[in-house]
């Protein structure tokens, strides 16, 4: 009888342990998953070999003035009309754009966003705001602080002394987020411009600029990204974008 009681006690202990283990496993299985917010992926806008994803502003084939050299998008320069600005096939709203640019001596170019295409708009800068690409010391625009490299053109003056010498690569990043009403620009790691994208402060900036009477300037939230033909030689590479959620 004593042996039987001991055996029953052992069996009860084993059964209780099994139930406890099962309960722990079940509890672990139903623990809620923690959602991890992943940073949006970078997507290349230039594959280094073709013009896929780009076209001439307001239509047409890409001019021979643009070429691809060793993974670099190069503009050979021109004299007179017409212009050969190029824009992305896709439109973007909220994003972070990263690229490298190199300007020729005395050269001028620019990077624009929210550019709209229509026959009534002759130039991409009729609608899109521009981040200046410039040889500050050589081009006449360098005499105007808000026209220097890294500037939100004619709207915000960038810090001095942040551009690389002519012939060297500069890294530019542009952050546009309408959800938070924030725009930011960095050149070679230095913040060159920080601005709202709408509201009283933005309207006041426009009113104090050359764009004050431009009906369609910087009105659109969504549009194409543009690399400007400003007649001078310029080079771009490592062009990539993050679309913000």
Domain for residue 153, yes or no? yes
Query: What pLDDT, on a 0 to 100 scale, did the predictor assign at position 39?
Result: 77
Phi then psi for residue 19, to 5 deg, are: -65, -40
Q: 26 and 121 share a domain?
A: no
pLDDT digits (tens, 9 = 90+) for 217-230: 999 999 999 999 99
Are residues 16 and 137 part of one domain?
A: no
Looking at the structure, do residues 129 and 9 belong to the same domain, yes or no? no
Tell me if 99 is assigned to some domain. Answer: yes
Which pLDDT score, from 0 to 100, does residue 1 have? 44
Residue 212 domain boundaries: 43-243
* Cβ(135)–Cβ(107) below 8 Å: yes
Tell me if 37 is assigned to some domain: no
pLDDT of residue 167: 92
R_g of the chain, CA atoms, integer Å: 28
**8 plus 86 within the same structural domain:** no
Same domain, 211 and 104: yes
Mean pLDDT score across all residues of the chain: 89
Asked if the structure places residue 132 within a domain, the reply is yes
Residues 26 and 49 in one domain: no
In a domain, 58, yes or no: yes
Whether residues 63 and 6 share a domain: the answer is: no
DSSP classification of residue 100: E
Q: What is the pTM of this model?
A: 0.84
Q: How many domains does the chain have?
A: 2
C-beta of residue 225 within 8 angstroms of C-beta of residue 116: no
Q: What is the pLDDT of residue 33?
A: 55
Does residue 183 contact residue 95 with C-beta atoms inside 8 Å?
no
Looking at the structure, tell me whether residues 3 and 96 fall in a common domain: no
Structure confidence by residue, pLDDT tens digits, 35-46: 555 778 999 999
| Total residue count of the chain as it appears in this document | 245
108 and 6 in a single domain? The answer is: no
**Cβ-proximal residues to 51 (8 Å cutoff; 6+ apart), any chain:** 62, 66, 68, 86
Residues 6 and 72 both lie in one domain: no
CATH number of the domain where residue 145 is located:
2.60.120.560
CA 194 vs CA 93, 100, 150, 197: distances in Å: 17, 20, 11, 10
Give the Cα separation of 101 and 134 in Å (integer): 10
With respect to residue 36, please indicate whether it lies within any of the assigned structural domains: no
Same domain assignment for residues 160 and 84: yes
| pLDDT at residue 83, as a whole number | 94
Same domain, 183 and 139: yes
pLDDT at 197: 98
Is 182 inside any structural domain? yes
Phi-psi region of 50 (alpha: psi -120 to 50; beta: other; left: phi over 0): beta
Residues near 63 by Cβ (< 8 Å), separated by ≥ 6? 56, 84
* Residue 120 falls inside a structural domain: yes
Task: List the pLDDT tens digit at each of the 245 positions of the chain.
Answer: 444 444 344 344 444 444 544 443 344 444 445 455 577 899 999 999 999 999 999 997 899 999 999 999 999 999 988 999 999 999 999 999 999 999 999 999 999 999 999 999 999 999 999 999 999 999 999 999 999 999 999 999 999 999 999 999 999 999 999 999 999 999 999 999 999 999 999 999 999 999 999 999 999 999 999 999 999 999 999 999 999 98
Which pLDDT score, from 0 to 100, does residue 21 have? Answer: 44
């Amino acid at each position: 009888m004593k042996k039987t009681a001991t055996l029953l006690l052992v069996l009860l202990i084993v059964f209780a342990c099994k139930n406890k283990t099962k309960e722990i496993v079940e509890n672990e299985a139903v623990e809620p998953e923690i959602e991890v917010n992943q940073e949006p992926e970078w997507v290349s806008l230039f594959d280094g070999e073709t013009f896929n994803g780009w076209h001439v502003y307001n239509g047409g084939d890409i001019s021979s003035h643009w070429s691809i050299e060793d993974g670099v998008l190069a503009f050979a320069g021109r004299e007179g009309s017409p212009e050969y600005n190029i824009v992305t096939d896709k439109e973007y709203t909220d994003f972070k754009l990263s690229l490298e640019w190199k300007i020729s001596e005395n050269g001028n170019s620019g990077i624009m966003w929210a550019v709209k295409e229509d026959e009534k708009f002759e130039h991409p800068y009729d609608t899109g705001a521009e981040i200046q690409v410039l040889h500050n010391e050589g081009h006449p625009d360098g005499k105007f602080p808000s026209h220097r490299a890294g500037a939100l053109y004619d709207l915000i003056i960038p810090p001095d002394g942040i551009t690389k010498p002519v012939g060297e690569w500069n890294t530019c990043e542009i952050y546009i987020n309408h959800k938070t009403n924030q725009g930011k620009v960095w050149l070679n790691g230095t913040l060159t411009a920080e601005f709202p994208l709408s509201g009283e402060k933005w309207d006041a900036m426009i009113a104090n600029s050359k764009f004050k009477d431009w009906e369609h300037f910087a009105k659109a939230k969504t549009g194409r990204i543009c690399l400007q033909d400003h007649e001078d030689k310029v080079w771009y590479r490592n062009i990539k974008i993050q679309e913000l959620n």
